[in-house]
Amino acid sequence: MADNIKMIIAVVIMAAAIALFYNYAEYSTLLRVLGLLTAAGLSLFIASQTTVGSTALSYIRDTQVEVRKVVWPTRQETVQTTMLVILMVMVAALMLWAVDSMLGWAVRALTV
């Protein structure tokens, strides 16, 4: 029950911040954006105190750990792979063109 109340408070704060951002258009954009960011930070903090929020934060932390484990390809590997993909696309295009030409020839031969 407390988690639901916290989530409702977080949503209300964010909705109020968005409404105030647009209602006070005559004020400086910088001040409105700072207010919106402050409200967003407060909303995220309140939401992170719930079970769902803590699960989401745990997921984000785990994702960051996994991204650090990724072995990114070198420039040479990237260029070689790109060239191979371009070559295979050209080969596939030529094969499709050949099949299309043969089917077109067959249809013309049957309809004449």
Q: Tell me the pLDDT tens digit for each residue of 35-87.
A: 999 999 999 999 999 999 899 999 999 999 999 999 999 999 999 999 999 99
Cβ-based neighbour number of residue 10 at 10 Å: 22
Task: Count Cβ atoms within 10 A of the Cβ of residue 47 and give its class: 0-12 exposed, 13-18 middle, 19 or more buried.
Answer: buried
- Percentage of the chain beyond pLDDT 70 is 100
Compute the distance between CA of residue 77 and CA of residue 72 in angstroms, rounded to an integer.
10
Q: What is the mean pLDDT of the chain?
A: 94
What's the pLDDT score for residue 2? 87
What average pLDDT does this structure show over 7-23?
94
Cβ(36)–Cβ(15) under 8 Å? no
